[in-house]
């Protein structure tokens, strides 16, 4: 049965979608942008600060659903500028050290609210 997951420690959805949906032991997390859940605004700083915020938001949703970063099997990273790929990887590697998930990374024309990064995630138990 499908279960909607919502964490107060991650930003509320800014459209008609759920933060995450769990079904049959798999958690699908909507694309997260670097919104500080306390302020509802993008975090200050560049790509490194934004990737940290996105991954903290993902971590909060994972925890709410009873998952952890080690349960993540797939990430899709959307970058406003592909030249940020190296810095994104540096921060990403702080959260995924071993048994890393499969991943795709793309440059896109623009992201919501002028974000530099958006990451969607799939986790499984």
Q: What are phi and psi of 108, to 5 degrees?
A: -125, 165
**Chain segment 70-109, per-residue pLDDT in tens:** 999 999 999 999 999 999 999 999 999 999 999 999 999 9
Query: Which parts of 1-125 are beta strand (E)?
Result: 3-5, 20-23, 26-32, 35-36, 41-42, 72-79, 102-107, 117-124
Spatial contact of 35 and 61, defined as CB atoms under 8 Å apart: no
* C-beta atoms surrounding 47 within 10 Å: 21
Alpha-carbon distance 125 to 67, whole Å?
A: 8
pLDDT at 72: 98
Domains of the chain: 3-124 (3.30.1330.40)
């Amino acid at each position: 049965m499908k279960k909607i997951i919502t964490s107060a420690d991650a930003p509320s959805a800014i459209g008609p979608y759920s933060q995450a949906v769990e079904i049959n032991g798999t958690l699908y997390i909507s694309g997260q942008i670097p919104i500080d859940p306390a302020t509802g605004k993008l975090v200050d700083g560049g790509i490194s600060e934004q990737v940290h915020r996105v991954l903290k938001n993902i971590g909060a949703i994972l925890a709410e659903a009873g998952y952890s970063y080690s349960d993540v099997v797939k990430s899709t990273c959307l970058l406003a500028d592909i030249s940020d790929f190296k810095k994104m990887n540096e921060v990403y590697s702080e959260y995924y050290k071993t048994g890393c998930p499969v991943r795709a990374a793309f440059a896109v024309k623009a992201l919501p609210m002028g974000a530099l990064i958006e990451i969607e995630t799939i986790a499984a138990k």
